[in-house]
Chains A and B, each alone.
Chain A
Amino acid sequence: MGSGVLGYTLRRVLWAVPVLFVISVMVFYMLRLAPNDPVDAILGRNAYQEDVANRLREKYGYDDPIYVQYWKYMKNLAQGDLGLSTQHQDFTAGEVIWPKIWTSTQLNMFALVIVFGLGIPVGVYAALARGTFLDPLAIGGWLLLDAIPTFVMAPILIWLFATQLGVVGLTWEGPYSTNAILPILIISLPGVAGVARLMRASVISVIGEDYVRTARAKGLKESTVIITHITRNALLPMVTVIGLSLPGLTSGSLFVELFFGIPGIGRESLAAATTPDYDVILAIVLFGSVLFVGANILVDVLYGFIDPRVRIGAGRGG
Chain B
Amino acid sequence: MSNKTLTLMMGLVAFLILAVGAVFLVVALGGSGDDDSQPADGSTQKTPGASGTSTGSTAKICESKVLIVPGDEPLAPFDPILVGDESTAAYIVEIFGGLVTLDRNLKVVPDIAESWTVSPDGLVYTFKLRGNALFHDNTRVTANDFKYSLERAADPANASPTVKAYLGRIKGLEDKLSGKATDVSGVKVVDAQTLEITLAKPEPVFIQELTYPVAFVVKQSQIEQDPRNWTRKPIGTGPFKIVEFSPAEKIRLVRNDRYHLGAPLLEEVVFELGGGSISTRYQNDEIHIGFVPALNLKDIEDGKSDLSKEYVPVPQMAVSYITLNPNQAPFDDLKVRQALAMSVDKASINDVLLYGYYRVADGILPPDMPGYKESVSGFKYDIDAAKKLLSESKYAGNFPRIILTYGGSGGNSPETLVAIQDGWTQLGLDVQLQAVDSAALLREQRRGTFQALSEGWIADYPDPGNFIEKLFGSDSPLNYTKYQNADVDRLIERASAEPDDAKRADLYTQAEQLILNDAVTIPMFWPVEHTLIKSCVVNYPSVSMAIPKYRYIDIDPTK
Q: A125 near B9 (CB under 8 angstroms)?
A: yes
The interface residues of chain B lying within 8 Å CB-to-CB of A36 are 437, 439-440
Whether A218 sits at the interface, judged by CB under 8 Å, is no
Partner of A42, one of B46, B50, B75, B248: B75
Whether B138 sits at the interface, judged by CB under 8 Å, is no
Q: How large is the interface on B (under 10, 10 to 19, 20 to 34, 35 or more residues)?
A: 35 or more
Q: B246 near A45 (CB under 8 angstroms)?
A: no
Q: B281 near A129 (CB under 8 angstroms)?
A: no
Whether A268 sits at the interface, judged by CB under 8 Å, is yes
The interface residues of chain B lying within 8 Å CB-to-CB of A268 are 248
The interface residues of chain B lying within 8 Å CB-to-CB of A47 are 84-85, 161-162, 165
Report whether over half of chain A's contact residues are helix, strand or loop; otherwise say mixed: helix
Q: B10 near A134 (CB under 8 angstroms)?
A: yes
Whether A128 sits at the interface, judged by CB under 8 Å, is yes
Which residue of B is nearest A96, CB measured? B247
Closest Cβ–Cβ distance, residue A54 to chain B (whole Å): 9
Closest Cβ–Cβ distance, residue B166 to chain A (whole Å): 10
Chain B proximity mask over A141-159: 1 for CB below 8 Å, otherwise 0 = 1101100100000011011
Q: A129 near B10 (CB under 8 angstroms)?
A: yes
CA distance A172 to B439 in the complex (A): 31
Interface residues of chain B, those whose CB is within 8 Å of chain A, are 1-3, 5-6, 9-10, 13-14, 17-18, 20-21, 23-24, 27, 31, 46-47, 49-50, 53-54, 57, 68, 73, 75-78, 82, 84-85, 156-157, 159-162, 164-165, 229, 231-232, 245-249, 272-277, 280-281, 283-284, 286-287, 437-440, 442-443, 445-446, 460, 477-478
Closest Cβ–Cβ distance, residue B71 to chain A (whole Å): 11
Name the residue in B245, B277, B286 with the highest tally of chain A Cβ atoms < 10 Å from its Cβ.
B277
Q: How many A-B residue pairs have CB under 8 A?
A: 183
Can you give 13 A-B contacts (C-beta < 8 A)?
A46-B162, A47-B84, A55-B159, A88-B247, A90-B232, A90-B247, A155-B277, A165-B49, A165-B50, A171-B287, A172-B274, A261-B277, A274-B437
Partner of B284, one of A156, A169, A261: A169
CA distance A102 to B356 in the complex (A): 43
Q: How large is the interface on A (under 10, 10 to 19, 20 to 34, 35 or more residues)?
A: 35 or more
Q: A44 near B277 (CB under 8 angstroms)?
A: no
Interface residues of chain A, those whose CB is within 8 Å of chain B, are 35-37, 40-49, 51-52, 55-56, 59, 85, 87-91, 96, 99-100, 121-122, 125, 128-129, 134, 137-138, 141-142, 144-145, 148, 155-156, 158-160, 162-166, 169-172, 221-224, 226, 258-263, 267-268, 271, 274
Q: A90 near B280 (CB under 8 angstroms)?
A: no
Which residue of B is nearest A179, CB measured? B286
Other than the given A129-B10, A169-B284, A223-B2, 7 more pairs (CB < 8 A) read A40-B438, A89-B75, A128-B6, A138-B13, A170-B284, A171-B281, A172-B274
Which residue of A is nearest B278, CB measured? A261
Known: A125-B13, A142-B17, A263-B249. A223 touches B6 (CB 8 A): yes
The interface residues of chain A lying within 8 Å CB-to-CB of B159 are 51-52, 55-56, 59
